Structure 1
Amino acid sequence: MASKFGLAGGIPERRVRPIWDAIDSRQFKNALKHVSTLLSKHPNSPYCLALKALILERMGKSDEAFAVCLNAKELLHSNDSVLMDDLTLSTLQIVFQRLDHLDMATSCYEYACGRFPNNLELMMGLFNCYVREYSFVKQQQTAIKMYKLVGEERFLLWAVCSIQLQVFCGNGGEKLLVLAEGLIKKHVASHSLHEPEALMVYVSILEQQAKYGDALEILSGKLGSLLMVEVDKLRIQGRLTARAGDYAAAAIIFQKILELCPDDWECFLHYLGCLLEDDSNWCNRDNTDPIHPPKFVECKISSLADERFDSRISNASEFVLKLLENIGDNFVRCPYLANIEIERRRHLHGKGDDEKFLDALIQYFVRFGHLACFTSDVEMFLEVLTPDKKAELLGKLKESSGSLSTDPTKVLGQSITLFKIQELIGNMFKLPVGGVYLDFASVVFLQPHLTAFA
């Protein structure tokens, strides 16, 4: 609670602590009593007034709280002898924010920074105000002032991230990115980088400018050692290599990641997209929005010739088989989904085998059909099947579900999954009454076995 200008807004902390204890325990009437006593001894203390405003706001007395806040703000602006510390201003900021008057808190910090231009705590408070107001340019300017004042890496990153936000929102563009890159390069030359987050920001600045080769060079150099987790570094290298257009090298990198993390479904999609050069995900240079990435990867039909397509999709199948052998009995979904995705890509290329496609879906159901996520996992794959094949799949799933498990919980999960699949393919109301009755009866049959869970 101490500040550079005194304890608790210039008041001994032992006198303020009971007020905060009462606020924390939601004893607001008691807190108001304590702060009123304190105000009688320090009537011109902005900190005491800020505390009173905070208590009144918590009690639901918004108008009174706002009036007290304005009184504290007036004292800060009109009396140069009044202590102006970050604790007082941050308390006012909390109240103004909760009263939807954040601009007034910002004006208090701006005035304070004008009076004490080299006070780091006040500048950080002002930066936070600009963050809450989405004032990216003022964020950048304040962060650069803090960086020039103390030369700390974190303030440089705050400035660079503020520049990136301006670019994302359509303001600035190339010139701002060049400025950000220059700031980081200058810092690296004089101080190097010490945090992995700093390296990530540096790489992202280069990536935004399509300087993929420069970013890869930095990752493979001394600064790359900041990323201690090998898989994290490989993911960035794979993305940069793919965006640089070297799909073959990117596919090799994504394959290494899958060997280390076989359940990384997103990585498998990157791997397959690079292998088939079908413009999916990172291969699509138009898809570079880091704030709103696509929820699903919508691949285009591969432009590879038939022979090259067959060769590469066969390589992918062999690799997935190796993954399945390596994982053994581990509960890993990605390789099983990968088999289905490979058959889907074959189907899109005009070389699909419906029987293999259905078999891959059934194998996935046998292993994971009791999970609540099964239907959402396979939803995109069912879109390539004809209505007749969907009905055939449903029949095979019902046949296989009868002998899968004796665990009542898993049997119930499989039955629920079958209902979801029926609803998904749209034939719930086309089934004969007997068929619906049998499905319902299977659930009713489970009821005695589930009483233990009630």
Structure 2
Amino acid sequence: MAARGHVQDPNDRRLRPIYDYLDNGNNKMAIQQADKLLKKHKDLHCAKVLKAIGLQRTGKQDEAFSLAQEVATLEPTDDNSLQALTILYREMHRPELVAKLYEAAVKKVPLSEEYHSHLFMAYARVGEYKKMQQAGMALYKIVPKNPYYFWSVMSLVMQAISAQDEKLSQTMFLPLAERMVEKMVKEEKIEAEAEVQLYFMILERLGKCVEALDVIRGPLGEKLTSELQSRENKCMMLYQRLQRWPESNALAHKLLLKNPDDWQFYPSYFDSLFHLIDQSWSPPEEGEHCPEGAVHHTVAEVVRFVEDRIKGEDDKDSRALRGPYLARLELIHRLRERGCPEEAQLGEPLELMVQFFGKFGDKPCCITDLKIYLHLLSADQHVQFVNRLSEAVPLGEQGDEGFAFPDDTKALQRHLCVCQLSRALGLHHALDVEGKLRLIAELKAHYRHGLKFGANALKTELQFSDMYCLMAAHVYIDLWTDTGDEDMVWQSLGVLQEGLSHSPSNAQFKLLLLRSWTFTPAWTPSTYSTTPSGH
């Protein structure tokens, strides 16, 4: 029991066996022990509450509640009884009674920091935000600590969030919370990061982006250290809301210099560039471009910046980062959308994606990286692209089945990526019936061959070759869609069941199995069963 560690009175020795019985789940013995103790000490309220807990846990809720109320009406102030009643009310799902309990305790012991804090938390559990605010301020007056003051401020914010009248939130609750925090700021009493976060939340909800930006960029912003680049992320968000594109561009530029693989800042960098171009922005003749530093306001500057980041990755001895290479494809996409001729300076998308595959094709993320840029290829480049990728996949000699298989998981991942990109480009769908059946045979052969790489995998782990199995099932469904042959659906079910037997945790297999059953209108539970007849 949580309360046992707080027992300080002489009755600790008498109550300890009851706590032990409750802790061990021996509720009947706890009740019996409490009855014995109450015969000798009728006024030992905690024993009565502990008995009520035992009764509650044995299903005698009414009797337990009646017993608890006998103690509650006496308005106890000893820790043992209060905490035992709190546990009981929580198990009864009656948190509102905990608040009443501590309201009475606070009236009797008005200077107790512990009881006031328990009362605040009790209000929090039932969403009494107004009472939380009052309890927080009462606690702060007794013990002037920052956390208690900001409990009250947070209660105001919660009142604003939960208020049905948005006007009331904007004109009363949030402005009052803002004034309360500003008082602490002027007195230089802000201590913790959470207090700055709360101040920022208030200003953001009030739509005071300029004031919020001043806070983040000022001394208070230095306290934002728990999250990586928390200060920079907030600044970037505010710059975009305020449409301060020079600052947004310069900040993104600085952050990408530090970490060229941080993808979240590339879209901000490109967005700000095109906004600056649309606004015909030009830097001042003297001084810095903006408070954040130099601004790249021309396509040529941004192209050069991206190419410099790629050159830096190419010159590294260690493995390159994906960010700059993807940024180049993203920039081509955006320049093409706007009809900018500078797109040609960045290279041919087909060649760039082949290069990307050469560097990162053995990563599972390669397929999702390249898939969103396949639209950069023209229709007559699709087959050429897949053939070029296939040349970069190291496969062993052909086996008896006429297929060449990868010798390790990296080669397997490359081959999988090529197969998935082929499907994404529509090459699987373009095959005739015989072509699709040959493709299925190849995918199933690769799946079974790849199982050896996961021979020692746990049941909760996926097999390296699971995606082959999933694609084979999809091609079977394609055949059913094309030909109307329901046997293809049954074949799909068989493949998925085989895959599930090796990867019981594969959610994609399970979902497609459920979906596949809907493709078989002739199936009913009475016509198909996995259990032997008669059982």
Please indicate the TM-score interval, normalised by the length of the shorter structure: 0.7 to 0.9
The change in CA–CA distance for 1:166 and 1:412 in structure 2 (over 3 A counts) is farther
Map 1:251-330 onto structure 2 (within 5 A): 251-277=249-275, 303=278, 310-311=299-300, 313-315=302-304, 317-318=306-307, 320-321=309-310, 324=313, 329-330=318-319
Unpaired runs of at least 5, structure 1: 279-301
Superposed CA deviations along residues 146-187 of structure 1, whole A, max 9, x for unmatched, are 233322211222222333333334543222221111101112
Give the aligned CA root-mean-square deviation in angstroms.
Answer: 4.1
Residue 212 of structure 1 corresponds to 209
The change in CA–CA distance for 1:236 and 1:327 in structure 2 (over 3 A counts) is farther
| Residues 1:160 and 2:153 are matched in the alignment | yes
Map 1:421-436 onto structure 2 (within 5 A): 421=421, 428-431=428-431, 432=435, 433-436=437-440
Map 1:166-181 onto structure 2 (within 5 A): 166-171=159-164, 172-175=168-171, 176-181=173-178
Greater Cα radius of gyration, structure 1 or 2: 2
Residue 441 of structure 2 corresponds to 437
The change in CA–CA distance for 1:335 and 1:127 in structure 2 (over 3 A counts) is farther
* TM-score relative to the length of structure 1: 0.75
- Structure 1 CA distance for aligned equivalents of residues 82 and 375 of structure 2: 58
If asked which structure has higher relative contact order (CA below 8 Å, sep 6+), I would say 1
- Structure 2 CA distance for aligned equivalents of residues 372 and 20 of structure 1: 53
Amino acid in the other structure paired with 1:8: V
Unpaired runs of at least 5, structure 2: 281-295, 397-404, 459-535
The change in CA–CA distance for 1:169 and 1:17 in structure 2 (over 3 A counts) is same
The change in CA–CA distance for 1:117 and 1:254 in structure 2 (over 3 A counts) is farther
- Of the structure 1 ranges 106-115 and 244-253, higher mean CA displacement relative to structure 2 is found in 106-115
The change in CA–CA distance for 1:361 and 1:377 in structure 2 (over 3 A counts) is same
- Structure 1 CA distance for aligned equivalents of residues 195 and 155 of structure 2: 14
Aligned residue for 2:392, secondary structure, equals: helix
Map 1:373-388 onto structure 2 (within 5 A): 373-378=365-370, 380-382=372-374
Asked if the contact 1:401/1:414 (under 8 Å) is kept, the reply is yes
Asked if the contact 2:134/2:152 (under 8 Å) is kept, the reply is yes
Superposed CA deviations along residues 413-438 of structure 1, whole A, max 9, x for unmatched, are 33444555456566655442333433
Aligned residue for 2:191, secondary structure, equals: coil
Q: Name which of 77, 81, 85 aligns with 1:83.
A: 77
Q: Name which of 327, 333, 337 aligns with 1:348.
A: 337
Deviation at 1:56, TM superposition (A): 4.7
Q: Name which of 51, 68, 74 aligns with 1:72.
A: 68
- Of the structure 1 ranges 310-319 and 346-355, higher mean CA displacement relative to structure 2 is found in 346-355
Asked if the contact 1:277/1:304 (under 8 Å) is kept, the reply is yes
Aligned residue for 1:264, secondary structure, equals: coil
Residue 195 of structure 1 corresponds to 192
Superposed CA deviations along residues 223-245 of structure 1, whole A, max 9, x for unmatched, are 34434578333333333333332
Deviation at 1:192, TM superposition (A): 1.8
- Of the structure 1 ranges 101-110 and 175-184, higher mean CA displacement relative to structure 2 is found in 101-110
Map 1:101-180 onto structure 2 (within 5 A): 101-171=94-164, 172-175=168-171, 176-180=173-177
Q: Name which of 235, 238, 261 aligns with 2:236.
A: 238
Amino acid in the other structure paired with 1:400: A
Amino acid in the other structure paired with 1:129: A
Asked if the contact 1:102/1:129 (under 8 Å) is kept, the reply is yes
Amino acid in the other structure paired with 1:413: Q
Amino acid in the other structure paired with 2:77: L
- Structure 2 CA distance for aligned equivalents of residues 361 and 56 of structure 1: 69
Superposed CA deviations along residues 51-85 of structure 1, whole A, max 9, x for unmatched, are 3444455x4x34x24532442233222x25x3343
| Residues 1:400 and 2:389 are matched in the alignment | no
Asked if the contact 1:371/1:413 (under 8 Å) is kept, the reply is yes
- Structure 1 CA distance for aligned equivalents of residues 188 and 62 of structure 2: 46
Asked if the contact 1:212/1:244 (under 8 Å) is kept, the reply is yes
The change in CA–CA distance for 1:188 and 1:70 in structure 2 (over 3 A counts) is farther
Asked if the contact 1:66/1:99 (under 8 Å) is kept, the reply is no
Asked if the contact 2:49/2:71 (under 8 Å) is kept, the reply is no
Deviation at 1:219, TM superposition (A): 3.6
Residue 296 of structure 1 corresponds to none
Residue 412 of structure 2 corresponds to 412
Amino acid in the other structure paired with 2:212: A
- Structure 1 CA distance for aligned equivalents of residues 384 and 35 of structure 2: 77
Superposed CA deviations along residues 219-273 of structure 1, whole A, max 9, x for unmatched, are 4443344345783333333333333322211222233233334443223333333
- Structure 2 CA distance for aligned equivalents of residues 13 and 110 of structure 1: 26
- Structure 1 CA distance for aligned equivalents of residues 32 and 320 of structure 2: 60
* TM-score relative to the length of structure 2: 0.65
